[in-house]
Structures are given as C-alpha cells and as structure tokens.
Amino acid sequence: MPTFAETCLVDNACQEVLLETLSPNSQNTYTLADICTLMNCKLSLGIVPLLKRTQQNYFVYNVDIPIVQGQSYYQFPARAIGNAVRDVVLLDASGNEVALNNLEREYIKVQFPFNFVPSIWSFGMYTSSNGVNLYNTLIQSYTAYKLRFITERRPGVLTLSENCGQITAITGNVLTLSNFPTDWTTASLFDIIAPLPPFNTVADDVAITDINGQQITLTSAPAGIAKGQWVCQSMMSCIPQIPYEFFPLLKQMTIATVATGLDMSQLLASANAEIKDMKDDALALARPRITGSPKVIINKDSFGSRGFGGIGGGWR
C-alpha cells in the first residue's frame, strides 16, 4: 500500500491519467514522461492562473538583493511567475519595507531648460526589459538597503521521480539518496522539496562538491533539511507544488488534453464537464484561506489618515 507521500508524486498522477484514458504503458502514443510534460503545461496555464485569481497570495514570496553602488538595473527573479513582480521596495537593516514609487519611463526625461535635477525625495523605480531601474542616482548609492522583489513564485517544472533522488540518510552535509540520475554532476544545482503539503522548497540552487555512488556532499547543509525530502535539479520538482486538493483538477485537465490527442470525443466531453465542476469546488476550498477572522481595511492614504496637516493619530 502506498504512503500518502507517494500519492503526492507526479508519477502517481501520470499513472492515473494513463489508467483513466485506457492507454496501456506499452502503447507508443503516450509514455509516463509524455503525460508528465502535458501535466506541466496544465499546471502552468491551468492551475497557477486559477490560484492567482483567488487573490489569496498562494505563491507570494520575497527575493532580497543587495544594492550595488552606482548600479541602476536589477533583473526580475528567475522564478517569478509571468516574469512579473507584485511590488518592489527598499529593505532597511531592521527589516522595514520602504515604498518605492512606480514611475513611468517618461518621468526620467530631463526637462527644459536642460539642467533639471530632481529633488532627493523624487525617487523610485521604472520597469524596462525584464527588470527595474532605480531612479535617481542618489538611491543607487543606498548600499545600506536591499532591494526586495515581492513576487509570486513559479512551482517547480514537473519531472518524474526517477529524475530525482529522495534523501534516505543525512550525515553532516553528506546526503544519501534513494536514486542518483546519471546525468547529475558537481556542476549542477539542485532544489530540495518537502514531500508533504504544502510541498515547500526547503532550499534553492544548492551546490554539491562531491559525488560518491548515491551519496552527495553539499557545500553546507540547508536549514530544515530532513530525511524523505526530494533532491531535484534546480527549478524542477517531482511533486506538483500546489494545494493537494487541486491534484484531481490537474489530473482531469491532463486527461482532457490526452483525450484531444487521441481523438476520444466522449472522454473529452466528460472530462470538460468534470473540469467545470471541479474548478468551482476547488475555488470554494481555495478562498478565503483564513475563514474565521474578519478583514479590517485601513486606507493609509485617505484624507485625515494622519490628521490635519499630517499631525496627530488620524481617523480610522
């Protein structure tokens, strides 16, 4: 009998898709790896947008980058969904977030009579290409601060567990794995994935310094590492990193894709009907995430929020 953790593997989901589409493993049309690829497409353009629409911060996380003296451009985090960020702020040494104005690109043009110098308080950032530029030159010297990207993290690209290794023993910074793919080298970087909900990534882009059979030596052991966790190549995962209750919907979306490819019209119609019902049920589970507490909304920028003339406690 499989354990709960084993049912969370993408292998299990892919096998169920093959079973429900009556596609035997010996058939050349779709292999488990093919199903995994199709499932990853539905994860990216089916489940992730659905969870984003709940506006419940399912994927929100912070990426903090040191400010380099004189550097203007900073690239968006590689794991950001849609190559986009929710906000960009300054982070001081005490962990306080300082707002940055989101400026239009046209704002930085020099005005007549061509000797315009912005006020020291006229600072912010503007987007260009795949990142942000800090404006003005004064803020580019704030090396005591960090630049915080508040973004939404892309779930790991799905891959079968045969392409990953599960931690079976830990001795210092040496890990023993259940499996060691032959294409792994010390030049590769790895993510460590928790096997149980919420399937967090314990560590990103971990480097290894030595390989000895099924043992790997890390440069240092990340905090929170434990037996049973999965080591996968960087930005990949053998577990869909979404709420467990969304797994059936992900499988059903994949079944519809397989049915389309195999020209199985009845199965396709049935799958699409199931998807519609499952979406409604899944959304009912996904929002709100905190069901028992009322949400208090305070508009800090409203008239009187700081009292008249900016003095006093203001109105609430």
Q: Do 199 and 213 belong to one domain?
A: yes
Q: Do 141 and 65 belong to one domain?
A: yes
Q: Do 65 and 147 belong to one domain?
A: yes
What pTM was computed for the model?
0.86
The answer to whether residue 1 sits within a structural domain is no
Peptide bond into 173 cis (omega under 30): no
The answer to whether residue 3 sits within a structural domain is no
Structure tokens at 149: 């990207």
CA distance 215 to 212: 5
CA distance 68 to 65: 9
Please tell me the total count of domains within the chain: 3
Listed residues 237, 259, 293: the one ending a domain: 237
Closest CA to 15 of 115, 212, 116, 160: 160
Contact status, residue 14 vs residue 36, Cβ threshold 8 Å = yes
Looking at residue 178, its amino acid is S
Burial of 90 (0-12, 13-18, 19+ CB in 10 A): buried
The answer to whether residue 6 sits within a structural domain is no
- Residue 75 Cα distances to 116, 127, 147, 212, angstroms: 28, 10, 11, 37
Q: Do 42 and 68 belong to one domain?
A: no
CA distance 112 to 94: 40
Q: Do 232 and 250 belong to one domain?
A: no
Beta-strand pair 236-237/101-102: unpaired
Listed residues 209, 237, 265: the one ending a domain: 237
Listed residues 102, 137, 153: the one ending a domain: 153
Q: Do 79 and 146 belong to one domain?
A: yes
Q: Do 84 and 44 belong to one domain?
A: no
Q: Do 176 and 231 belong to one domain?
A: yes
Domain with 89, as residue range(s), is: 60-153
The answer to whether residue 131 sits within a structural domain is yes
The answer to whether residue 127 sits within a structural domain is yes
Q: Do 65 and 17 belong to one domain?
A: no
Q: Which phi and psi angles does 209 have, rounded to 5°?
A: -105, -15
The answer to whether residue 4 sits within a structural domain is no
Per-residue pLDDT of the chain (316 residues; tens, 9 = 90+): 679 999 999 999 999 999 888 765 555 578 999 999 999 999 999 999 999 999 999 999 999 999 999 999 999 999 999 999 999 999 999 999 999 988 887 766 666 555 555 554 567 899 988 999 998 878 888 899 999 999 999 999 999 999 999 999 999 999 999 999 999 999 999 999 999 999 999 999 999 999 999 999 999 999 999 999 999 999 999 999 999 999 999 999 999 999 998 889 999 999 999 999 999 999 999 988 888 876 666 666 655 554 444 444 444 4
Beta-strand pair 131-135/73-75: antiparallel
Q: Do 49 and 85 belong to one domain?
A: no
The answer to whether residue 5 sits within a structural domain is no
